[in-house]
A and B are shown apart, each in its own frame.
Chain A
Amino acid sequence: MYEGVVQDLIDELGRLPGVGPKSAQRIAFHILQADPVDVRRLAEVLIVVKDKVKFCSVCGNVAEDELCRICRDQRRDPAVICVVEESKDVVAIERTREFRGRYHVLGGAISPIEGVGPDDLRIRELMTRLADGVVTEVILATDPNLEGEATATYLTRLLRPMGLRVTRLASGLPVGGDLEYADEVTLGRAFEGRRSVDD
């Protein structure tokens, strides 16, 4: 045990995800030895982020105002909505520069074993967004794991009667991998979704 405030710092750091008692101690001593200006900047950012950052009232992405940067951008296509689980997924898709529509962040995936059902996600908000008829296509970009697939299945059943075009991200072989290590489900999907090279 260290004296007073040093131990408090170690305890606080130890509550962060993935930081065990040893790592907490290492980070605490790094902070003690660091330049006071750097430490002050870190402290200020921590306070500001909690004060300023909100969730976009339209799509649920992290935002500094009522609306996020993407929902404010008039150049983005309002007719296509890409449904993702987390804000992290928005960033991942934005990095591809392939998508010019808008997003909807669900805030997770349906996982009964963790006690997360459809009512715990932002599905009602999605349905409200679709009500005015502007949106013509919904892209389901939930994770390609069991929970993500089940969430996509649930949404498909909900969206299909609305007469929209509902699409699901393709799944198949990762670029840079070996065919022999591909699992049966992934390889099967890759065959199912194969495409002609003529055109």
Chain B
Amino acid sequence: MGLYRDEAVVLRTQKLGEADRIITLLTRGNGRVRAVAKGVRRTSSRFGSRLEPFTYVDLQLAEGRSLDVVTQAETLSPFAARIGSDYERYTAGTVMLETAERLVIEDKEPALQQFLLLIGALRAMSSGERSPSAVLDSFLLRSLSVAGYAPSFDGCARCGLEGPHRAFSPSGGGMLCSTCRVPGSASPAVETVALLGALLAGDWAVVEASEPRHRKEATGLVAAYLAWHLERGLKSLSHVER
């Protein structure tokens, strides 16, 4: 059984037996990996806080039959400390972790883009310069795009007709023109559609200039779009404080 090294973000931890934990990781080179951290719940554990969710670590892992085993860990960036100390960031950040876990479907299939996106989002979230809610919405749209569910906020998602259009439909894949419009489509404000485009593109100047009511509407549409594409809803989304 071989040893390998990788960089990873800890997505989720579950208790295992007396003092162990199963750690779900998103790694740079190996995609999603589930590994056992032995003795991590003891106060004398040499892992300490290094394997808490949100932490960006450099790991050595030993390949196991079903689960790998964490043998060494070094912190690269302790996002956990700065995210856990603010309730709004904590709840928004948790949704990012759960989304990353769900959108990277296969274990041990490299998912470098998702990894880099998550690192960037955690960095933005922990710096506290931007609103946690906006960072979350931007991450969700981009993460969905990387996974192959990119929404369209300018041209019609069905026929490609140049926008701007009025109707938004999660099942339709974004904005729809008046011909393609499906029953039950939402009709968001023009400013909200522009904001959604900015969130997807990472145009922070537009995002920060937006009004609270448009941000709220955009958040609702992002949540609807995410729920449609993930089929099963996220547990953490209803606990986000905004």
The answer to whether A binds B is: yes
Q: Which residues from chain A contact B43 at a C-beta distance below 8 Å?
A: 174
**Out of B53, B91, B238, which one reaches A146, CB within 8 Å?**
B53
- Closest Cβ of chain A: how far from B41's Cβ, in Å? 9
Question: Chain B interface residue count: which class?
Answer: 20 to 34
B52 touches A113 (CB 8 A): no
In the bound complex, do residue B49 and residue A186 qualify as a contact, i.e. CB atoms below 8 Å apart? Answer: yes
Q: Which of A174, A177, A185 contacts B49 (CB 8 A)?
A: A185
- A167 interfacial by beta-carbon distance below 8 Å: no
| Set A115, A150, A182: member contacting B87, Cβ < 8 A | A150
- Which residues of the partner chain B approach A146 to less than 8 Å between Cβ atoms? 52-54, 80, 84, 90
Verify if A112 is at the interface (C-beta below 8 Å from B): yes
Q: Are A181 and B46 in contact (CB under 8 A)?
A: yes
Q: Least Cβ distance of B123 to chain A in Å?
A: 17
Does A117 touch B at the CB level, under 8 Å?
A: yes
User: Is there a chain B Cβ closer than 8 Å to A163's Cβ?
Assistant: no
- Any chain B CB within 8 A of the CB of A114? yes
A183 touches B (CB below 8 Å): yes
26 sample A-B contacts, Cβ–Cβ < 8 Å, listed by A number: A18-B17, A112-B94, A112-B95, A112-B239, A113-B53, A113-B235, A113-B236, A115-B235, A117-B238, A117-B239, A145-B49, A146-B52, A146-B53, A146-B84, A149-B84, A149-B85, A150-B87, A153-B90, A154-B87, A157-B87, A176-B44, A177-B44, A183-B47, A183-B49, A185-B48, A185-B81
A interface residues, Cβ below 8 angstroms from B:
18, 110-115, 117, 145-146, 149-150, 153-154, 157, 174, 176-177, 181-186, 188
Q: Which B residues lie at the A interface, using CB under 8 A?
A: 12, 17-18, 43-44, 46-50, 52-54, 75, 78, 80-81, 84-87, 90-91, 94-95, 97-98, 235-236, 238-240
